[in-house]
Structure 1
């Protein structure tokens, strides 16, 4: 029989091992950019240049994390949000992201905006194993966890959105002659591909014209005149905000009235429809996944009440009709959720693991029925949209929530 002394010694040893294991299990884990007190988040966005209308997104995210910090931070840590202007220029994007990683030593790069800029930084960030998280572009290629495990999208893919337009047109206007105006880069070409995939065998007969423009062009009026001469019934406007506003305005100036469908990323009332002229924008179609701050139907919506209170306190004077404020808030809320899920394991690998574990997450700003879901093989958080029509000074939703069916790579 074991002596009482030996039993006591063994018991003490077991307790010691258990205590050590618990300590190891509860041990805080950090990569560069995280500590007991801080989480450093990097961002690039065009505060200047041809896509500067999107700058409001970065400002909203900065304000959102200020609100989070005022409430005690995330799991007791303050978010240090470092955001730089890349002017929608890929070389500048590379320079600024290197600065974020090598000088500022951020934990991750969050919501970098624009397809060309994200394309330019993707290989660098993946080679360094740094999250390129919730990129602010709907290019389909961000959903490729096998080849780019450190890159994840956020908004619906452009191809999914374009497929939804094509499906709607085939059903509602099967004999329409369609012209496409698109930006001559990955952004525009993704929409073009999605449209053709959506039309399938009918693409060749339905699409009578494809006209591209360069982001560096000051005006695209000449392209609109050229498209009008082909006399299409439908004009698909696959542009960024500045050029979307120009297109709607020029079409009206020419006295030309095709059915116009504009990208979700250029559907902002404040930065596109208003500059184009509300009279000119009547009847324009688009698709949405987020609530519209200009729409009074959300006045008593709990989520949009929180959004409006946030703006009043942290961004007083903000134009609530500008969709950028809704977008930035929703994206920042998603990142805050992921960082909260990380607990005390703030390693880059765990950030990506938690980002790929979102189940039916609903930021305050998403339309009812639209939910964020991710997995290890699905890096496309939002994949649903609803059609909308511009009427008066706001968008009106119609039809059902539609899912795009672009498979992951």
Structure 2
């Protein structure tokens, strides 16, 4: 089933210039999102973005201009993504593509959008390939790169356990390879001596028990598990059943949901380390934070029938805030060229749900908007941030 959402918004102080592909006093923003199919839960992101832009309209817009936001269902299917993206570019003549979700889906239109010189902005995937200004100058990621996150974990190991013996378990695909690449890069010349065991598993593997047994026998006291979904639960439970108690046990942010920890037993996940750059909207410590209060106020007014505790709505709210800031920065000139100029010159931009001290900065040769994270440790019930802000600092 196809979902097409089109909204006209009082816009952001901009005209739809000729190279914006509209020719009228409106700005067209395109997006593909899985409103159906196996990843349909993420459709909440697009719905929150739609509602946020609706809020901008309700507040009178910016400069009295209009935005037409067109978000189409791709079912998380790359061929469908191609079809819908071509429609948005060639028929709707959108100014830019914003916040489309998925690695394989975005990859299917990566070369096409760059050949057409259509901005492919704030891609919702942590693959490092989205930040390649030399080969793909029209594409920019919208979340922390997996490689950056891996590098930050390695920096913590070097600082807190300089004599660590490290074991790595990773998914055998681009997701796993990106994390391991960043981790080894940050370890530098010490990677060869500190990493004592390394193995992978296939995304179709029924279990990872044999890999865990092999890693334990290496005598490693630090475990970095680049896992997803059910393998998160299998790894945490498997390590506990082996009686293995590594001093540091890392999980990627993408595997840190409580829903992945619960099947393994929350007690087994105690002291596991992950990371985040966002305030946890459910954590009492942020209950009086203005950014969090504004988010819940937004949900109550503009999405009253939806669950504000769903983190995907918070993600959409945050991304739409970033898009709005970018379009405001374009001022009266909003062409594809000017959009990219502004997207690559963001300076310490604050967003409402980013942790204090974390900002968005980009440059002509630095296409990574999000490079800062804080580590978080699971206490048996929830995640607690600790330590200072860590920055990959790698363009």
Smaller-chain TM-score range? Answer: 0.7 to 0.9
The aligned runs of 1:43-122 (5 Å cut-off) are: 43-47=31-35, 51-122=39-110
CA distance in 2: counterparts of 1:262 and 1:367, whole angstroms: 20
- Evaluate the alpha carbon distance shift between residue 378 and residue 170 of structure 1 in structure 2; reply closer, same or farther with a 3 A threshold: closer
Q: Does 1:290 align with 2:273?
A: no
Give the Å deviation of 1:54: 3.5
Give the Å deviation of 1:304: 1.1
- Evaluate the alpha carbon distance shift between residue 252 and residue 356 of structure 1 in structure 2; reply closer, same or farther with a 3 A threshold: same
Give the Å deviation of 1:61: 1.9
Give the Å deviation of 1:55: 3.5
For residue 265 of structure 1, the aligned residue among 216, 240, 254 is 254
CA distance in 1: counterparts of 2:379 and 2:48, whole angstroms: 27
Write out per-residue CA displacement over residues 28-71 of structure 1, whole angstroms, 9 at most, x where no aligned residue: 73435546553322222344555555443223222222222322
CA distance in 1: counterparts of 2:364 and 2:61, whole angstroms: 28
Q: Which residue of 1 aligns with 2:213?
A: 228
CA distance in 2: counterparts of 1:321 and 1:242, whole angstroms: 22
Give the Å deviation of 1:116: 3.0
- Evaluate the alpha carbon distance shift between residue 50 and residue 192 of structure 1 in structure 2; reply closer, same or farther with a 3 A threshold: farther
Cα pair 1:285 1:387 within 8 Å, conserved: yes
For residue 383 of structure 2, the aligned residue among 375, 395, 400 is 395
CA distance in 1: counterparts of 2:306 and 2:267, whole angstroms: 24
Q: Is the partner of 2:376 in helix, strand or coil?
A: strand
Write out per-residue CA displacement over residues 142-172 of structure 1, whole angstroms, 9 at most, x where no aligned residue: 2222322211123222222111111212332
Q: Is the partner of 1:141 in helix, strand or coil?
A: helix
- Evaluate the alpha carbon distance shift between residue 28 and residue 117 of structure 1 in structure 2; reply closer, same or farther with a 3 A threshold: closer
Q: Which residue of 1 aligns with 2:181?
A: 193
Q: Which residue of 1 aligns with 2:7?
A: none
Give the Å deviation of 1:256: 5.3
TM-score computed with the length of structure 2 as normaliser: 0.84
Give the Å deviation of 1:404: 0.5
- Evaluate the alpha carbon distance shift between residue 68 and residue 253 of structure 1 in structure 2; reply closer, same or farther with a 3 A threshold: farther
Give the Å deviation of 1:206: 3.0
Cα pair 1:268 1:321 within 8 Å, conserved: no
- Evaluate the alpha carbon distance shift between residue 288 and residue 40 of structure 1 in structure 2; reply closer, same or farther with a 3 A threshold: same
Give the Å deviation of 1:246: 5.1
CA distance in 1: counterparts of 2:80 and 2:200, whole angstroms: 24
Give the Å deviation of 1:401: 0.6
Structure with the higher fraction of residues in helix conformation? 1
Q: Which residue of 2 aligns with 1:182?
A: 170
Cα pair 1:292 1:326 within 8 Å, conserved: no
Stretch moving more, 235-244 or 58-67: 235-244
TM-score computed with the length of structure 1 as normaliser: 0.81
For residue 360 of structure 1, the aligned residue among 348, 352, 356 is 348
For residue 161 of structure 1, the aligned residue among 143, 149, 171 is 149
Q: Is the partner of 1:230 in helix, strand or coil?
A: helix
Cα pair 1:47 1:87 within 8 Å, conserved: yes
Stretch moving more, 132-141 or 291-300: 132-141
Q: Is the partner of 2:345 in helix, strand or coil?
A: coil
- Evaluate the alpha carbon distance shift between residue 321 and residue 28 of structure 1 in structure 2; reply closer, same or farther with a 3 A threshold: closer
Q: Is the partner of 1:401 in helix, strand or coil?
A: strand
Q: Which residue of 2 aligns with 1:212?
A: 200
Q: Is the partner of 2:140 in helix, strand or coil?
A: coil
- Evaluate the alpha carbon distance shift between residue 121 and residue 283 of structure 1 in structure 2; reply closer, same or farther with a 3 A threshold: same
Q: Which residue of 1 aligns with 2:287?
A: 299
Gaps of 5+ in 2: 1-13
Give the Å deviation of 1:112: 1.9
- Evaluate the alpha carbon distance shift between residue 226 and residue 187 of structure 1 in structure 2; reply closer, same or farther with a 3 A threshold: closer
Give the Å deviation of 1:230: 2.7
Task: From the CA coordinates, give the structure whose radius of gyration is larger.
Answer: 1
CA distance in 2: counterparts of 1:312 and 1:203, whole angstroms: 49
RMSD, aligned α-carbons: 2.9
Q: Does 1:377 align with 2:365?
A: yes
Gaps of 5+ in 1: 1-25
CA distance in 2: counterparts of 1:252 and 1:320, whole angstroms: 34
Q: Which residue of 2 aligns with 1:340?
A: 328
Stretch moving more, 169-178 or 337-346: 169-178
- Evaluate the alpha carbon distance shift between residue 329 and residue 28 of structure 1 in structure 2; reply closer, same or farther with a 3 A threshold: closer
CA distance in 2: counterparts of 1:47 and 1:213, whole angstroms: 30
Cα pair 1:157 1:383 within 8 Å, conserved: yes
